[in-house]
Amino acid sequence: MANHLSIFALGGLNEIGKNMYVIEYGEDMIIIDCGNKFPDESLLGIDLIIPDISYLIENKEKVKALIVTHGHEDHIGGIPFLLKQLRIPVYATRFTLGLIELKLKEHRILRESQLIEINSESHFSVGAIGVQFFKVTHSIPDCLGIVFQTPEGNIVHTGDFKFDLTPVNNQHSEIHKMASIGSEGVLLLLSESTNVERPGWTPTEQRVGEHVDAVFMKADRKIIISTFASNVSRVQQVVHAAYKTNRKLALLGRSMVNVVRIAMERGYLTVPDGMLIDRDEIHDFPPEKVVILCTGSQGEPMAALARLSTGNFRGVEVLPGDTIIFAAGPIPGNEKAVTTIVDNLYALGAKVIYGSGSTSGMHVSGHGYQEDLKFMLTIMKPKYFIPIHGEYRMLHHHRLLAETVGVERENTFILKNGDIVDIEEGMARQTRNIPIGDSYVDHGDVGIGEFVLRDRKKLSEDGMLMIIVTLSKSDERMLSEPETISRGFIDRDFSGIRKEVNKITIETVNELLLASRTSRNTMKKNIKKAVREYIGAKHKKKPMIVPIIIEI
């Protein structure tokens, strides 16, 4: 095939999470982001989901660079696993690199990794592709959108963004630069779709600051406030409120301590001298002079807030009259975990401020609403459009939104992970795809598959029955009673069932032994079948049945 341009995703389409997009031209591939996703309860024992990168490994020599738009987990969480397999340079901004370095250190691969700091003024080339950037506003500092200048035309990737004309700590979008990119002409826009179902404009982050201030003014005991550690703008506003009310600030939770340190060291967060105190010093100050900033706003059971709510955080207690603020709305799926903590905090006598941002005022989204998204489409006025970073209905709604601001319906591509859009002579088509799936991480081990998960599911539902039969190798007879053992199956007295199962097993085995020599597999199959029928009929359960034959 002659040189042409291809774009595809290895993650981020039909899902929220594990974002990873690839631009390919001739012998060069550039990766944008490499995130992770957290599993739902159906993926038993799985810790993380990361993109399936087998296609990249097959094309190892083509992959030239990873560019990272910002430092959220769904954009950087897969990087250690990627770098263990592909030695490529990683381009990211100063703050984003700080978070990536933390990860690589944990995986003990920081030293051999090639990290390149960029900013919105940086530009470089990868083969025939020029790369430039523009700043966008989001809920973490130092975010970029990317312009790829290809022989076919310009491709723009928005990163995650909102428009906020009064952001905290100067995290402005470069609107003029975006306008000039749009004026130059954009062949293809990839734009994020998270909040496409919400009408209007995203509120400004400063609104949260106003609510935080108001609560700080009223609180007459200790304040505990929880938010995403990476939301440095929100942390800055907590610092402001603490300053105004003359409170000392303590940090709880490993990621809060780490991220605040990175943000301060690298100049993204300003904390007055003497405000930060150690957790051991909390009791040295009267409660009305202390605020604790902690992790756990999503109800994570091991995070600081959950442990505080159950009295399991050594050295720090929630006391009657304390004010607890959830400065982050629950992400869909986390509602129950959050309200359990709220219940516990009320039981300790605390005042609790919680709920979605629209009810508590303590959260605004970092993802643009419909008008933000329309503004991006309008300012970039792309010929082609690929909505990214969203579940199917979001991509679908984003297409409809794009139509309202002039993108032709047939020029929008609703893709699945692995679907390839090819652009040749300025014309885009989607006709081919790479077959890809998910990669599961189980205790740092990549490569748990469907097979193991199916077994875990079965085990989790009705437990298991093991039936051990010992046969003599020589004269083909059973050497002892079968041994039947269960786990996770039934609580009550098991001896009746064991007796019955053993009886069925003996009958089945003896029948087969009387007949001509039967294969061990047939024997196992028959035991399984007979026992399954009995357990199903008598106890209406379907445990995993594992017959084991030992020959001595």
131 is in an annotated binding site: no
Is 500 an interacting residue with respect to its own copies (CB under 8 A)?
no
145 is in an annotated binding site: no
One character per residue 5-24, x = contact with its own copies (rule: CB under 8 A): ---------x----------
In the chain, % helix, strand, coil (3-state, to 5) comes to: 35, 25, 40
Q: Which of 116, 459, 512, 513 binds its own copies (CB under 8 A)?
A: 459
Integer Cα distance of 61 and 45 in angstroms:
34
State residue 89 phi and psi, 5-degree precision: -70, 145
The helix (H) or strand (E) run that includes residue 524 is: helix 520-539
Is 64 an interacting residue with respect to its own copies (CB under 8 A)?
no
What does 233-284 look like in DSSP terms, one character per residue? HHHHHHHHHHHHTT-EEEEESHHHHHHHHHHHHTTS----TTTEE-GGGGGG
Q: Which stretch binds its own copies (CB under 8 A): 130-138, 142-150, 213-221, 335-343?
A: 335-343
One character per residue 346-365, x = contact with its own copies (rule: CB under 8 A): xx----x--x----------
Is 540 an interacting residue with respect to its own copies (CB under 8 A)?
yes
Q: Which residues pair with 465 in a beta bridge?
A: 486, 545
Assess contact for 544 and 464: CB atoms under 8 A. yes
Q: Which of 174, 288, 424, 483 binds its own copies (CB under 8 A)?
A: 483
Is 426 an interacting residue with respect to its own copies (CB under 8 A)?
no
Taking the alpha carbons at both ends of the chain, their separation in whole angstroms is 63
Rg (CA), the chain: 29
Integer Cα distance of 7 and 139 in angstroms:
27
Is 460 an interacting residue with respect to its own copies (CB under 8 A)?
yes
The helix (H) or strand (E) run that includes residue 308 is: helix 304-309
Which is catalytic among the residues 157, 211, 367, 398? Answer: 367
**Any catalytic annotation for residue 192?**
yes
| Burial of 427 per CB tally in 10 Å (0-12, 13-18, 19+) | exposed
Is 480 an interacting residue with respect to its own copies (CB under 8 A)?
yes
Q: Which stretch binds its own copies (CB under 8 A): 171-179, 227-235, 461-469, 512-520?
A: 461-469
Residue 542, token pair as written in the block = 């379907």
**Any catalytic annotation for residue 367?**
yes
Residues 6+ apart with CB under 8 A from 88: 31, 63, 64, 65, 66, 114
Is 108 an interacting residue with respect to its own copies (CB under 8 A)?
no
Q: How far is the CB of 531 from its own copies (least distance, A)?
A: 16
For 107-231, where are the alpha helices, taking DSSP H only?
Answer: 175-184, 206-218
Instruction: List, as residue ranges, the binding site for substrate.
Output: 229-231, 363-367
Residues taking part in catalysis: 192, 367
Instruction: List, as residue ranges, the binding site for Zn(2+).
Output: 70, 72, 74-75, 138, 160, 389
Instruction: List, as residue ranges, the binding site.
Output: 45, 47, 70, 72, 74-75, 138, 160, 229-231, 363-367, 389, 442
Footprint on this chain of its own copies (rule: CB under 8 A): 14, 40-41, 44-45, 197, 332-333, 335-336, 339, 342-344, 346-347, 352, 355, 391-393, 396, 442-445, 447-449, 451-453, 455-464, 466, 468, 470, 479-480, 483, 485, 487-492, 539-541, 544, 546, 548, 550-552
